[in-house]
Amino acid sequence: MDDLVFTGNDPSLLQQFKKDMMSTYEMSDLGLLHYFLGIEVSQTKNGIFISQKKYAENLLKKFNLSNCKTVATPLMSNEKMKKCNGAKNADATKYQSLIGSLLYLTATRPDIMFASSMFSRYMEEPSQLHFGAGKRVLRYVQGTVDYAIIYKDEARSSRLIGYTDSDWVGCLDDMKSTSAYVFYLGSRICSWRTKKQSVVAQSSAEAEYVAAAKAAS
């Protein structure tokens, strides 16, 4: 396999690499990638853009929110939720479909990662309050449907930079906090995640330390 390793961006080298691959394996050259599993890919001289605009638009149509009023944030400020909130039960199947779709949308939308992860905790017995909060995320997506991730050729800028944060007692059911992190290689986002912490932090500072430790790991 060593003779098939391709590095660099020389067009002639790329063509030779493709010929070598096709002579070694049974395969076809379908040209540049444009669409794959709901992810749109646009390759230009300015970089590679990946988005899920069409998927997001279909999701908005599915929940009759194509013409909804948009909001500036996925969640309300300092919003905290719990399983038993006194509201009527929502349709669990519809709620699970909504949250499952939002979680798939996070493949190119790290800005909704925290909200989608939080609402996934209530999949078993969602209430109308949970469903309404989940639909708020869709209203945010409606206003940001053109958002995409760009990957530029920045060979000289490959510094790894990470950001981490946490809320404190974000889950009112077990009093646990939620960690989040995002990493960039240069200006290119490469990894992001949000997850409830496994321990109960006794202070906001401890919650931050736990989040930082998880990000470093």
- Which string of DSSP letters, residue by residue, matches 183-206? EEETTEEEEEEEEE-SS--SSHHH
Residue 20 contacts by C-beta under 8 Å, 6 or more apart in sequence?
A: 3, 4
Enter the tokens of residue 58: 């279909």
pLDDT tens per residue across all 217 residues of the chain: 444 444 455 567 777 887 888 888 888 777 778 888 889 998 888 888 999 999 999 999 999 999 899 999 998 887 788 888 878 999 999 999 999 999 999 999 999 999 999 999 999 899 999 999 999 999 999 999 999 898 887 766 678 899 999 988 888 888 999 999 999 888 888 889 998 998 999 999 999 999 999 999 8
Residues belonging to the chain: 217
The residues spanned by each domain of the chain are 48-68+76-143, 155-216
Enter the tokens of residue 12: 């002639």
Euclidean distance between CA atoms 210 and 127, whole angstroms: 31
The pTM of the full predicted model, rounded to 2 decimals, is 0.78
